[in-house]
C-alpha cells in the first residue's frame, strides 16, 4: 500500500493530515502502560511471597486493543460527526452517572462505577471529552444565543457537577470545573468571568473542607505528614533511584494500595527509576504542547477551542496523578491517562485523544457541511 501524498481518500488521506508526532507519543504512552501493567499486576493479585498472576495485565492488553480502535475511529471523524457524537455521548454519560448515584455499588463510601462483570465502567470519565467538544461548539456559534454563552455552558455542566459531588467524586468534579475554566480562558473570557470562576471554586473548596469529612481528612493528611499511600509512594521512588531495581524486582508495590491504578507512577519509579518517570512526564508535556500548537493553527474556531480543551484536560489529569504520587498534591484517587489500569480510563482517554487528533487534522479550505446543535438557543430576530 502506497502512502504517497498524491493518494486521496482512505488511510493515506488520514495519515498525511493527522498529527503523527502526537499519535506516536500516545502510542508510546500506551506501550509504557502495558509494561507497567505487567509490573504491577502481581502486586494486585498476590504478594511478595506468592506467585501472583497477570490477570490485570492481560485484561489491560485487551482494553488497550479496544482503546486503539476507539482512538483510530474517532480520529477519522468529521467535525460534524464529532459534535453529534459528543452530544449523544454526553447525555448517555450524564444518565449513567445518575444511574450510578441511585443504584450503583458503593465502594469505600462512593458510588462511581457500573459493574458489568468482566469490566466496570465509570460514566464520569466520558463527561470530560464530550463536554469539551460541546462547550467549544457553543462558543464557536456565530449567532447570538438567548443567553450569554458562558451561562449556557455552565447550565450544561451544572447537572454533571451536582451528580459528581453527590457520588462523591471530588477529583472528577474539580477536573470538569477546571476544564470549563480552561475553555473560558481560551475563548477570551473577561476578567470578571475568570475572577468569578476563581472565587466560586475557592468557595466550593472551602465548603467541601468544612462540610465533607473525607475531603477534610485528605487535606489534613497532606498538610501534616502525608498519608499512608503517598508515604509508600515516596519510598518506592527512593528505592528505585535513577534507573530502578529492575522489572519485577520491586517490593514496596506489594504494600501500596491501588499500585496498578492510582499509584502506577510509583511502580514505574521503583522498578524503572526516575529515568522512566522523566520520560513519561516528557511525553505528556510534548503531547500537550504539540496538540495546543496544532489547535492554535486551525482556521475553525470550534477546532481551536475543542483541540485546546481536549489537550489540557489530559495534561491536567496526568499532572494531578503524578503530583499525588510525588506528594506534591493531596490524594485525589485519579488515574494516570494511558497508563493506569482500567477500561473506563483507557477508553475515555482514547476518545479524548481521538477527538483531539480529528479536530487538529489539516483539512482543506473548503468547509464541510456543519450541524447546528444549538440552533434552538439562538436569539429570535424581529
What is the tens place of the pLDDT at every residue in 294-344?
A: 999 998 999 999 999 999 999 999 999 999 998 888 877 789 999 998 888
Beta strands 110-111; 120-121: pairing state:
unpaired
Note the pLDDT of residue 70.
96
Note the pLDDT of residue 155.
93
Rounded percentage of the chain residues whose pLDDT exceeds 70: 87
- The answer, yes or no, to whether residue 366 has pLDDT greater than 60, is no
- Whether residue 257 is contained in a domain is answered as yes
Query: 258 or 25: which carries more pLDDT confidence?
Result: 25
Q: What is the DSSP letter of 115?
A: E
Note the pLDDT of residue 108.
64
Range of the domain at 158: 18-361
- The answer, yes or no, to whether residue 268 has pLDDT greater than 90, is yes
- Whether residue 4 is contained in a domain is answered as no
- The answer, yes or no, to whether residue 255 has pLDDT greater than 50, is yes
pLDDT tens-digit profile of 162-216?
A: 999 888 888 888 899 999 999 999 998 888 888 888 888 888 888 877 777 767 7
Beta strands 120-121; 114-115: pairing state:
antiparallel
In whole angstroms, what separates CA 41 from the centre of its chain?
22
Note the pLDDT of residue 380.
53
Element of type H or E holding 107 = strand 106-107
- The answer, yes or no, to whether residue 369 has pLDDT greater than 60, is no
- Whether residue 3 is contained in a domain is answered as no
With both helix axes pointing from N to C terminus, report the angle between 301-325 and 79-103 in degrees, rounded to the nearest 10.
40
Residue among 377, 363, 382 nearest 76 (CA): 363
Distance in angstroms (rounded) separating the CA atoms of residues 257 and 260: 8
- Whether residue 11 is contained in a domain is answered as no
Note the pLDDT of residue 382.
46
* Contact partners, residue 99, CB within 8 Å, separation at least 6: 114, 123
- The answer, yes or no, to whether residue 13 has pLDDT greater than 90, is no
Q: Is 207 exposed, middle or buried (0-12, 13-18, 19+ CB in 10 A)?
A: exposed
Query: 165 or 128: which carries more pLDDT confidence?
Result: 128
Distance in angstroms (rounded) separating the CA atoms of residues 276 and 260: 16
Question: Which three cell numbers, joined as nine digits, stand for 26?
Answer: 500516545
Residue among 335, 288, 260 nearest 34 (CA): 260
Note the pLDDT of residue 208.
77
Q: Is 38 exposed, middle or buried (0-12, 13-18, 19+ CB in 10 A)?
A: middle
- At residue 356 the predicted structure's pLDDT band, cuts being 50, 70 and 90, is very high
Residue among 313, 222, 319, 239 nearest 274 (CA): 239
- Whether residue 366 is contained in a domain is answered as no
Distance in angstroms (rounded) separating the CA atoms of residues 354 and 71: 4
When divided into structural domains, the chain yields a total of 1
Query: Can you give the pTM of this predicted structure?
Result: 0.89
How confident is the prediction for the chain on average, in pLDDT?
86
Distance in angstroms (rounded) separating the CA atoms of residues 379 and 144: 6
Note the pLDDT of residue 48.
57
Distance in angstroms (rounded) separating the CA atoms of residues 279 and 160: 34
pLDDT tens-digit profile of 210-238?
A: 777 767 777 777 666 556 778 888 899 99
Element of type H or E holding 270 = helix 264-296
- Whether residue 371 is contained in a domain is answered as no
Whether the Cβ atoms of residue 308 and residue 289 lie closer than 8 Å to each other: no
Note the pLDDT of residue 381.
54
Question: Which three cell numbers, joined as nine digits, stand for 116?
Answer: 458489568
Element of type H or E holding 247 = none
Residue among 133, 70, 63 nearest 300 (CA): 133
- At residue 4 the predicted structure's pLDDT band, cuts being 50, 70 and 90, is low
pLDDT tens-digit profile of 78-98?
A: 999 999 999 999 999 999 999
| Residue 378: strand pairing partners | 145
- Whether residue 380 is contained in a domain is answered as no
- Whether residue 377 is contained in a domain is answered as no
Amino acid at each position: 500500500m502506497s502512502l504517497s501524498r498524491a493518494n486521496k481518500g482512505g488511510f493515506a488521506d488520514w495519515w498525511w493530515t493527522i498529527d503523527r508526532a502526537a499519535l506516536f507519543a500516545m502510542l508510546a504512552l500506551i506501550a509504557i502502560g502495558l509494561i507497567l501493567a505487567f509490573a504491577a499486576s502481581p502486586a494486585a493479585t498476590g504478594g511478595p511471597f506468592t506467585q501472583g498472576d497477570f490477570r490485570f495485565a492481560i485484561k489491560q492488553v485487551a482494553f488497550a486493543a479496544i482503546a486503539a480502535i476507539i482512538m483510530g475511529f474517532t480520529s477519522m471523524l468529521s467535525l460534524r460527526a464529532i459534535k453529534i457524537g459528543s452530544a449523544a455521548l454526553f447525555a448517555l454519560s450524564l444518565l449513567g452517572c445518575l444511574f450510578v448515584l441511585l443504584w450503583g455499588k458503593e465502594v469505600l463510601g462512593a458510588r462511581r462505577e457500573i459493574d458489568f462483570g468482566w469490566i466496570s465502567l465509570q460514566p464520569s470519565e466520558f463527561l470530560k471529552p464530550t463536554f469539551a467538544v460541546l462547550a467549544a461548539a457553543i462558543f464557536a456559534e456565530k449567532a447570538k444565543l438567548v443567553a450569554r454563552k458562558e451561562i449556557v455552558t455552565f447550565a450544561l455542566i451544572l447537572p454533571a457537577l451536582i451528580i459528581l459531588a453527590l457520588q462523591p467524586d471530588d477529583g472528577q468534579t474539580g477536573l470538569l470545573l477546571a476544564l470549563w475554566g480552561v475553555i473560558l480562558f481560551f475563548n477570551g473570557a473577561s476578567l470578571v468571568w475568570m475572577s468569578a470562576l476563581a472565587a466560586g471554586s475557592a468557595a466550593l473548596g472551602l465548603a467541601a473542607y468544612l462540610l465533607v469529612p473525607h475531603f477534610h481528612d485528605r487535606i489534613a493528611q497532606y498538610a501534616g505528614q502525608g498519608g499512608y499511600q503517598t508515604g509508600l509512594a515516596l519510598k518506592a521512588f527512593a528505592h528505585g533511584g535513577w534507573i530502578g531495581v529492575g522489572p519485577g524486582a520491586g517490593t514496596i508495590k506489594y504494600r501500596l494500595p491501588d499500585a496498578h491504578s492510582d499509584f502506577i507512577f510509583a511502580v514505574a519509579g521503583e522498578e524503572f527509576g526516575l529515568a522512566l518517570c522523566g520520560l513519561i512526564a516528557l511525553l505528556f508535556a510534548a503531547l500537550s504542547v504539540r496538540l495546543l500548537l496544532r489547535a492554535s493553527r486551525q482556521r475553525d474556531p470550534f477546532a481551536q477551542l475543542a483541540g485546546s480543551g481536549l489537550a489540557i484536560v489530559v495534561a491536567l489529569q496526568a499532572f494531578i496523578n503524578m503530583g499525588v504520587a510525588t506528594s506534591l498534591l493531596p490524594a485525589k484517587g485519579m488515574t494516570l491517562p494511558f497508563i493506569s489500569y482500567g477500561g473506563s480510563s483507557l477508553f475515555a482517554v482514547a476518545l479524548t485523544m481521538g477527538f483531539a487528533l480529528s479536530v487538529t487534522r489539516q483539512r482543506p479550505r473548503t468547509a464541510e457541511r456543519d450541524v447546528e446543535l444549538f440552533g434552538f438557543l439562538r436569539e429570535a430576530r424581529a
